[in-house]
């Protein structure tokens, strides 16, 4: 599975995450965070563990999204050189 970085602007102000907008990353693991009423303001849903630009394995949720089928197809065509 692959994800694409969509926006890091609001996150880079505070945390300085090392992702490049528009870059495609391979997903190492998908971790699903279940909803909990005690954490109603926290994000619940899939976290994608990827290797970021500096080589660290980290989890990201709101600044990446899975590729669509057409984007996956384009990536596959790039990999095989067509």
pLDDT of res. 28: 95
Token pair for residue 48? 């994608």
Q: Which residues pair with 78 in a beta bridge?
A: none
| 43-70 exposure pattern, b = at least 16 Cβ within 10 A, e = fewer | eeeebbebebeeeeeeebeebbeebeee
Mean pLDDT along residues 62-75: 90
The pLDDT tens digits of the residues spanning 39-59 come to 666 666 788 999 999 999 988
Rg (CA), the chain: 14
Per-domain residue ranges for the chain?
A: 2-80
Strands (E), the chain: 2-5, 24-33, 45-51, 57-60, 64-66
């Amino acid at each position: 599975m692959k994800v694409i970085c969509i926006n890091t602007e609001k996150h880079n102000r505070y945390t300085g995450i090392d992702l490049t907008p528009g870059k495609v990353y391979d997903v190492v693991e998908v971790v699903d965070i279940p909803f909990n009423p005690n954490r109603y303001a926290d994000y619940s849903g899939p976290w994608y563990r990827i290797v970021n630009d500096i080589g660290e394995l980290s989890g990201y949720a709101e600044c990446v999204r899975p590729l669509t089928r057409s984007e996956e197809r384009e990536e596959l065509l790039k990999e095989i050189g067509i």
